[in-house]
Amino acid sequence: MNDVHLFPARELPRPGPVVTEDGQLENFIEKIIDERKVGRGKRYLVCWVGFGEEDNEWIAWRDLEDCEALDVWEKERSQR
C-alpha cells in the first residue's frame, strides 16, 4: 500500500464520476463490505473504486437496486 505521507509524489489521482445520459453523476463501486437494517429497509457499506477506506459510505438499498456489487454481496451471503 502506498503511504502518501512518506511518498506524496506517488499519490494517484482519484477517478472522477461518470456522467450518465440523463446528467446524473455516478462513481463506481468496488465492493460492498457490510450491511445493516434501518427501519424496514437495509443500508450497505460501499467501498468506492479509487477511494480510501475513509470514503466508504452507507447507501440505501433503493439506490443500489440494479448494482452488480449488490448482486455479488447477496450471492456471497447466501453461500455462507
38-80: per-residue pLDDT in tens?
999 999 999 988 888 998 999 999 989 888 999 999 999 888 7
Are 32 and 42 in contact, with CB atoms under 8 Å apart?
no
Q: Is 22 exposed, middle or buried (0-12, 13-18, 19+ CB in 10 A)?
A: exposed
pLDDT of 15 over the 70 cut: no
- The residue among 79, 76, 67, 66 whose CA lies nearest residue 34 is 76
Local confidence band at 23 (pLDDT 50, 70, 90 cut-offs): confident
pLDDT of 58 reads: 96
Mean pLDDT computed over 4-10: 66
Query: Domain residue spans in the chain?
Result: 28-80
The CATH class given to the 28-80 domain equals: mainly beta
What is the number of other CB atoms lying within 10 angstroms of the CB of residue 79? 6
